[in-house]
Structures are given as C-alpha cells and as structure tokens.
Structure 1
Amino acid sequence: MAKIKVIKKNDEYSTDYKVGDILEVTGTWYGGINVNSVTGIPLCLDKDEYEEIPENTDLSHEEYEEAATYWKKKDAQAVKMDKTKLKQAVEEYILANKTCVLATAAGDFVRCTPIEYTYHDGAFWMFSEGGEKFYALEKNKNVCLAIYDKYEGFGKLKGMQVTGVAEIVAPFSGEYNAAAEFRKIPLDALKKMPHTMNLIKVYAKEIEFLNADFKKDGADSRQMLEF
C-alpha cells in the first residue's frame, strides 16, 4: 500500500494529523487522497498537503541470492586455464604493480584503504603508520585486496581480487626486518621514527583474476586460483 508524508496542514484546527506524519493511503478522490491518521481516524488530504514516498526498490532475498551466485554459476561453465600458467600470470600481474586497495571490516565498521605493497615469500607485505583499518584488524583478520588497471574498454579489462588472512608482524622481528630490507627501508630509519611502523602481512586464500588477454588462449577472461 502506498505511503505519503504530510508536508502541510490546510486544516490548522485539526489535531488528528501533523506535518511529518507518515500515513498509508486508503483511497483517492478528485482533489487528493484518503488516509487514516496515526490514531486510525479517517482523513481526506488535499494534493498540496502531502508528498508520495517512493516504494521500496530494494531487491528481494531471492534476487540478492541470484545476484550473489552469478559468477559461481558462470565459473562452473568456464573454460579453465592450466593452473601452472594461471599462477604464473597471477604472480606476474602482482609483481607488475605496487599499490592495492585493502578492505577490512568488523561488524558494521568497514574500511577501504589504498596502500603500497611488496610481494615475496608467497605473501603481501604492507607497512603502515596506522589508521582506522586497525580497528577492524584487531577483531577480524579476514581481508580482501584489489589490484586493477585503469578502465580502457572491455577488450583490455585487467584486475584482481585477493581474499586472504592478515596478521600483524611483530616490530623488528626476523620477518619484519626481512620485509624492511626487501622494501629497501633502513632499519635505523625505522627505529628513529617517533611512532613504530606497523607491518601487515596477507596470505592469499583465493585470487580472482579478470584478464581479457586470457581469451586469446581460448580461456575465459575470469579465472580463479585457490591456495
């Protein structure tokens, strides 16, 4: 049933309705609509007394489910690449880039952070001064990161989504020092900083790689690599 919001009162003496009331329409007449007041009293409102509230355009649960499973159904029919070749293509793309978007979440809190990374020893490594992403990382180590090219048409699509697990590496531990050396950050410089730099390490569990070039080899452009 349609709903309206009262925006004006032509009958200033009536106490049965007020500006701001949300009421359901029970019928129409030439000059306006019939509604019931908040207390259930039938009212007739003129056209200039209300505005219509758009009906809910959200998807149903079934429609959300259908949308969510779209790629799973497509993947079931997809032409797969050889896993060795796919892994090589994935690592080449990761190493060809230096920045990603790191998504973190816990409860109602979500954060999406552009951040520089290095990739070695089978993991992503990100130094960070801090930021609100650590609110989420304390409670939820499941993360997602995205690497992608600028859009230049469907024939040149290239982007990657990595689902993985994060851990915070202890400052100046063996792993921390090795990551700093790989990044060419002097340890002395890190130790002299007023605040300790945090190191986030992400192991990939699953990588979805969209690459239009895969079609040239007869495979689907979207490939999944699981670890």
Structure 2
Amino acid sequence: MAKVRVIKKNDDYSMDYQVGDILEVTGTWYGGINVNSKTGIPLCLDKDEYEEIPENTDLSHEEYERAANYWKEKDAQSKKLDQDALKKAVEEYIQANNTCALATAAGDFVRCTPLEYTYHDDCFWIFSEGGEKFYALEKNKNVCLVIFDKYEGFGKLKGMQVTGLTSIVEPFSQEYVQAADFRKIPLKALEKMLHPMNLIKIKPKKIEFVNSDFKKDGADSRQTLICD
C-alpha cells in the first residue's frame, strides 16, 4: 500500500495529523487522497499537503549519506602505511594476479565483466573483442575494477578496488603493439582477425587496498594510494 508524508497542514484546527506524519493511502479523490490518521481516523488530504514516499525505500537520504561516508571518516583516523611501501605492496599484488572484475556504467546502464589484464607503465591493459561494456565506455570514461582473493576470514583479507580513467588504444599503434608483446599475443594473429581486438587502457587515479598483513607493520589493513 502506498504511503505519503505530510508536508503541510491546511486544517490548522485538526489534531488528527501533523506535519511529518507518514500515513498509508486508502483511496483517492479529485482533489487529493484518503488516509487514516495514526489513531485510525479517516482523513482527506489536499494535493499540496503531502508528498509520496517511493516504495521499497529502505533508508533515508541521511542514512545513505552516513553509510557512504563510513570509510572516508574511518580512513581519516587510520594508521597509514608509508606510501613507497604501499605502492610496492600494491604493484606486487597486481602482478601476482591477472583477472579483474571491470565495472562500467552510463546513465541507467551498468555492467561488471570478468577480464584478464596485464599491468605495466603504471596502467592496466585489457584486450577485448567487444561486449556491452563498450556502450558505457563510449559515454563514461570513469571505471572501477577489483582484484581479490577468496574470503578466508578477517585475518586473511586481501583485495583491492581501483578507480581510474579509460582510453581505447588505436589498433596497431606503438602502444598497441607493445601491449600485445607484453601479453605475448602474436602480432600476426591480431592482423589476421576480421575486426581488430580492442585494447582498453586504464590509468588508475586511486587504489584502495585491503590487506590484513599491513597490521604486522603497525598500520590499518585498509590503505589508499593516490596515483599521479
């Protein structure tokens, strides 16, 4: 059943409803809606007296804001790892893996794709034949990718979230050839394809790394590396 929030009282003499009350709608009429007051008394509210509450809203705006800012506030007070040591740990973890989940979005369209990557020259490089992620990449160059280990308990956490900017490398350009060589993809094989493989380049802006081992160095397990 739909619910509304009272935002104005046209009947100042009525004590059956107050501004801020959340009431269930029991019916409609030309000038507004019918509701039951908190005490169960039927009421008629004019259109300018209420606002609709979207269904399935589980948190208020303030609650969403508080939840979104949780780690920002936590990180501000955390024990930081030396940035050179952090960068070394970040790069070691990236090089120790080769698969990520790449999240792309534009408007209402979202996509999260498991992909193989290589990492060199401070960038991620991903060869791709195509896919719906390119709908988003055309309109929004901001992406997020994650790399993570299987969860085995709070004392063994290890995973990272990378926020970055994408660009599509021109096929068979110098960057393209170098990335193919690094990936050990024969150039002749790429040249024989009917449509050239797309090469996605991701330049990290921020890397958030959760690693329980950081506690051994007296730092918090969650660390943030801001990239140049």
Alignment TM-score, normalising by the size of structure 1: 0.79
Structure 2: gaps of 5 or more residues: 1-21, 45-53
Residue 23 of structure 1 deviates from its aligned partner by: 6.6
CA RMSD of aligned residues (A): 2.6
Change (3 A) 1:81 1:185: same
Alignment of structure 1 residues 76-225 onto 2, 5 Å: 76-225=76-225
Counterpart residue number, 1:3:
24
Residue 137 of structure 1 deviates from its aligned partner by: 0.6
Cα deviation, 1:136-179, whole Å, max 9, x if unaligned, reads 11111111100001111101011100000000000011100110
CA distance in 1, matches of 2:34, 2:116: 52
Q: Secondary structure at the match of 2:207?
A: strand
CA distance in 2, matches of 1:181, 1:127: 12
Change (3 A) 1:62 1:168: same
CA distance in 2, matches of 1:206, 1:128: 23
CA distance in 1, matches of 2:37, 2:65: 34
Alignment of structure 1 residues 48-63 onto 2, 5 Å: 57-63=57-63
Number of residue equivalences: 198
CA distance in 2, matches of 1:168, 1:213: 36
Q: Secondary structure at the match of 2:94?
A: helix
Task: Give 2:24's aligned amino acid.
Answer: K
Counterpart residue number, 1:68:
68
> Would the aligned equivalents of 1:27 and 1:35 in 2 still touch at CA under 8 Å?
no
CA distance in 1, matches of 2:102, 2:77: 30
Change (3 A) 1:140 1:57: closer
Q: Secondary structure at the match of 1:216?
A: helix
Which of 1 and 2 has greater Rg? 1
CA distance in 2, matches of 1:69, 1:28: 38
Residue 121 of structure 1 deviates from its aligned partner by: 0.9
CA distance in 1, matches of 2:187, 2:175: 13
> Would the aligned equivalents of 1:161 and 1:208 in 2 still touch at CA under 8 Å?
yes
Cα deviation, 1:16-67, whole Å, max 9, x if unaligned, reads 99xxxx97445888xxx9687xxxxxxxxxxxxxxxxx97552112111111
> Would the aligned equivalents of 2:34 and 2:42 in 1 still touch at CA under 8 Å?
no
Q: Sequence identity, in percent?
A: 71
Counterpart residue number, 1:11:
none
Residue 4 of structure 1 deviates from its aligned partner by: 6.5
Structure 1: gaps of 5 or more residues: 7-15, 37-53
CA distance in 2, matches of 1:55, 1:188: 56
